[in-house]
Structure formats: C-alpha cells, structure tokens
Amino acid sequence: MTSMTVVPLSPACAAEIKGVDLTKPLSDAQVAAIKHAWGKHLVLVFRGQTLTQDDQLRFAAYFGELGTRKKAPEKLRHRAEGIQQDHEKVLLVTNIKVDGEPIGAFGDGEFWFHIDSGYSAKPYNYTFLHALELPSTGGNTLFSNMYKVYEAVPPALKAKLKGKRALHIHEYNRSRQASHSGDLSGTPHAYHPVFITHPETRRKSLFVDRLMTVAIEGVDADESAAMLRELYDIGERREFLYEHVWQLGDFLMWDNRCTIHARTDFPKGERRLLRRCTVEGAALYEEPRLPALENFIARLRGVWAAHSDDETRMKAAKPLLEAFVLDDSVKANSRAWPSTEGRKNLRLYVDPDYEFVINAVVRVPGRTGSVHDHADAWVLYGIVDGAESLERYDRIDDASRSGYAEIRLASVTTGTQGKVDLVAPYAIHAEQGGPARSAAVILRSRPLGEGTVLQNSYDAKAKTVTQRYGPEQIPYELRF
Ligand code: OGA
Ligand code: MN
C-alpha cells in the first residue's frame, strides 16, 4: 500500500490527499486517516480518479448513510429534476440538455454561496463531487471555512445572535436571494441555529448562507437583513476561502456543517458535468459555549492579533487567564469536568488562526504529576478549584550524555483558585495535586500531544530523561 499524504491547499481550508486509489475498497486505517484529515481541512481533494457511480457510492458510504436526492418543490420540478437522474442517491450537477430537457440539476453559470440542503430539518453532513466534463474556463468551486468565520464574527453581533435561529428555504435562483413571501406552505424550509456546534469536532461554526437563509427568527425584518448581510460578508471574505479550479478526474468531498460553497460563472454553451452524492445528516444544535470562555477567547485573539511573538503574547495573556479561572461560572462548570487521569487533557478550544490551545486538567486527590518540560511551547497554568503545588527544577548536569539528566528541586509554590504560573519553553517542572480534587486551565502557545512535538520527561532518582508526546487531547465543550 502506498502511503497517504495530505497537502494543504490554502491557508483557509482544503487539502489534497495523495496516494489513495478510490476505485479500490479502503482499509479501516485508510478511512480513519481520511476522516482525520477531513476534520482538520474540511474539504478534501483527490486528483486523477476515474470513478464509476458504484465506486463513488461505495467510497461515500464509508462516511455514513448515503443521502437521498431531495425532491424539488412542485413549481421548480420541471427544471430541477433531470431526465437522466435515475439513481435516488445520485445527482448530476450539469448544464447539459438532451432534446431541450436538462439531464441533471443546477444548470449554467454562477451559483451563490450555500449549504447543501440547508432548507431541510437534517441537512446533509457531506457532499462528494466527481468531475466528468468541464468547460474551458470558470465554473470553479469556492469554499469558506465557517469555523474561522465564526471566530471572526464581532463579539457584539455574536451576543445578539446567541440562541437565535435562522430560516432557510429551498430555492433555485442560483445567483439571487430567495424570495420570502411569508407563505412557506409550498416551499421546503427549516430553522437552524445561527451558530452550531459541529457534532464531531465540537467546534463552533456559523450556519447561514446568502442564497437560502432569509431571516433571523424573532428579529424585525430590517435588522435581520442587516445582520445577515454582515454575516454573509464575513463568510465570503477572501482570507476564509479556498477556490478549487477543477481538472478532469478530480474528486472533492466537503463537510456542509462547517463550510459554505459557491460556483463561479462559466461560458454558456460549454458542457459541464459532475456527479454528486451525499451523506445524510442530523438536526443541528447550538449548545452555547460558556460566555466566560467566549469572552476569554475573544480577548486572547485580540492579544494574538496585536503581538507576533509567543513570549509577549503569553505574558499579555496571563491576567486574562487569571480573570478566567477566578470566574464563578468557570469554577461551577469545572465541578462537572471528567478526571484526566492517565495523561489526558480536556481540549476546550484550539484557535483556527493562531493555533493557541485552551486545555483543562482535573486531578484526583493526592495525584502526583510527572517532571517534564513543554518543548518549545509557552504555557500558562491556572488553578480553578482545589489546591495544587508547582515544583520547579534546575538541570545541573551539562546535558552532554543522551538519556542522562541530573535535576534538582529549586522551588515549590502552592496555590489555589486564581493562581497562574507562566512556564517558559524547556522549563523543568511538575504540578502536584492536593488533598482534594483540583481543576486547572492551561493555555498553550501551540498544540501539544500525539503527533505534535516531543517533550522531555525526567526521572530525578534514576537520572534519566526520555522523550514523549504530551497528554492525549479529549475534546470537551464548556457549555451553560
Ligand atoms: C453542488 C454544488 C457547485 C459546482 O453540487 O452542491 O454546489 O461547482 N456544486 O457545481
Ligand atoms: Mn451545493
């Protein structure tokens, strides 16, 4: 088996997967590797594939129950139901007509940003497109990373929209806003939270699109329109976009819960044909983040935007972490956090732009911590509940013998809620639990854990140093 490689295609999202032949059944390990890359990059591109319909459906089915093509509303049926669409799991994305009749759907030209089947109660989780015929130019597909977009929504607008739902309706005017007359009886439609938590990644995402989202529930029409326009404009900012220029044989797959997509114009009269299938989805929920965490993140992003070196950023972040761990709502929330015994961290947040990470740890009474460093990462460690002590060590040998290290305890400081320590890169230390359960929040300047950077782990008695990855990362969302 050739090994799979993942090549990012833009700073916004999307990666090319090389070394996988989709005409063949895949191993569990290959599927797992693709899922992992998908969670990270949102849009995956495979080039040079020649897939039959069965190949495409077999591959898509690795990711869930295949989606059934949605029936177009009665009044649009004549131009939306292609005459060559004979498989209920397949849709032909094409402008081709036979005897004046479209063989598939979505016709010619530009297609505004949208979510596939956002107008249904359970929008498709995933869409897969395979390029079979292409125009000489144009017809590119644009994708926006809605996790990044969510983080870029101004805090005041986020606060106004928290807990609100938006109305999505089915319409086919590909480059015009859906008309929204008020009578929706003949039009498929659904309400979804404006902000959703992605059920697998647990990350927050903006879930509206310019084509089919028409109103925010319970907000007067003008204000709703203004807020939606602001959201659409952020969602379509160039920095959040990947533009896919198609080649024959391309196979694309995307996640509809954290991306929106659009199509650029292409010459009328030139044929374009892509084969589409989908995977069914489920109802979407907002599950709001704890406001204190939301606020902490917004302030951290301000610090990261204002400074470019990690030391300055982490020093500026120290008072922000102090305020966060002193917050009563955080302390109350921490009482429900699961234990992180066995070298685990709860992963509360990873910033999509700056990659700083917010972790939490929960120590059972009397738990002893290992002596270690964090390699090149800067770390702030703040106690939320209980008491812990921080031991600092000096390295006293000259580090010339591999695997050998002599260290000496330099200081021990004990702290309770609100105490925050800054741990510099390669600083040798250990956190020790107290007589009662304790909880702490950790801010890291970069991701640590499996597959990131190796950290040193020391044994003072045996005088050894070994390298290993940091704690296992367990996604955990702080909610109300
Ligand atoms: C789709 C779609 C865009 C394109 O198939 O859902 O939006 O580039 N296609 O044709
Ligand atoms: Mn689409």
Q: Specify the residue with its C-alpha closest to ligand 1, atom 4.
A: 263
Q: Residue 276 Cα, ligand 1 centroid: separation in angstroms?
A: 8
Structure confidence at residue 83 (pLDDT):
77
Average pLDDT over residues 175-193: 80
| Ligand 1 atom nearest 274 alpha carbon | 10
pLDDT reading at 205 higher than 70? yes
Read off the pLDDT band of 179 (50, 70, 90): low
pLDDT reading at 79 higher than 60? no
Phi, psi for 197 (deg, rounded to 5): -100, 120
Ligand nearest to the CA of 278: 1
Residue 381 or residue 177, greater confidence = 381
Cα–Cα dist 251/177, whole Å: 29
- Model pLDDT for residues 337-348, shown as the tens digit of each residue: 999 999 999 999
Structure confidence at residue 366 (pLDDT):
86
Ligand nearest to the CA of 118: 2
Q: Residue 475 Cα, ligand 2 centroid: separation in angstroms?
A: 29
CATH code of 291-475, in short, is: 2.60.120.10
Structure confidence at residue 74 (pLDDT):
67
- CA distance readout (Å), 172 to 74, 78, 207, 270: 12, 12, 19, 21
Q: Report whether 355 contacts 361 (CB < 8 A).
A: no
Burial class (CB in 10 A: 0-12, 13-18, 19+), 84: middle
pLDDT reading at 76 higher than 90? no
Q: Report whether 399 contacts 407 (CB < 8 A).
A: no
Every domain range in the chain assigned CATH 2.60.120.10: 291-475
Q: Residue 480 Cα, ligand 2 centroid: separation in angstroms?
A: 34
Read off the pLDDT band of 118 (50, 70, 90): very high
Q: In the 8-state DSSP scheme, what is residue 289?
A: B
Q: Report whether 277 contacts 87 (CB < 8 A).
A: no
Q: Residue 71 Cα, ligand 2 centroid: separation in angstroms?
A: 15
Q: Residue 479 Cα, ligand 2 centroid: separation in angstroms?
A: 32
Q: In the 8-state DSSP scheme, what is residue 198?
A: -
Pocket test for ligand 1, best of 127, 128, 140, 244 (most atoms within 8 A of CB): 127
Average pLDDT over residues 435-450: 95
Structure confidence at residue 199 (pLDDT):
86
pLDDT reading at 82 higher than 80? no
Three-class SS of residue 332?
helix
pLDDT reading at 173 higher than 90? no
Every domain range in the chain assigned CATH 3.60.130.10: 5-279
Structure confidence at residue 301 (pLDDT):
95
- Topology given in CATH for the domain delimited by 5-279: Double-stranded beta-helix (3.60.130)
| Ligand 1 atom nearest 129 alpha carbon | 5
Write out residues with Cβ below 6 Å of ligand 1.
93, 106, 111, 116, 127, 129, 141, 261, 263, 274, 276
| Ligand 1 atom nearest 140 alpha carbon | 8
| Ligand 1 atom nearest 91 alpha carbon | 5
Q: Residue 116 Cα, ligand 2 centroid: separation in angstroms?
A: 5
pLDDT reading at 93 higher than 70? yes
What is the chain's mean pLDDT, rounded?
Answer: 93
- Model pLDDT for residues 444-469, shown as the tens digit of each residue: 999 998 889 999 999 999 999 999 99
Which residues contact residue 58 at a Cβ distance below 8 angstroms, ignoring those fewer than 6 apart?
25
Cα-to-chain-centroid distance, residue 193 = 17
Q: Residue 421 Cα, ligand 1 centroid: separation in angstroms?
A: 50
Q: Report whether 282 contacts 199 (CB < 8 A).
A: yes
Pocket test for ligand 1, best of 141, 244, 254 (most atoms within 8 A of CB): 141
Average pLDDT over residues 23-39: 95
Read off the pLDDT band of 75 (50, 70, 90): low
| Ligand 1 atom nearest 116 alpha carbon | 6
| Ligand 1 atom nearest 141 alpha carbon | 8
Q: Residue 172 Cα, ligand 1 centroid: separation in angstroms?
A: 12
| Ligand 1 atom nearest 276 alpha carbon | 5
Pocket test for ligand 1, best of 70, 96, 111, 243 (most atoms within 8 A of CB): 111
Average pLDDT over residues 305-320: 98
pTM assigned to the model? 0.76
Three-class SS of residue 234?
helix
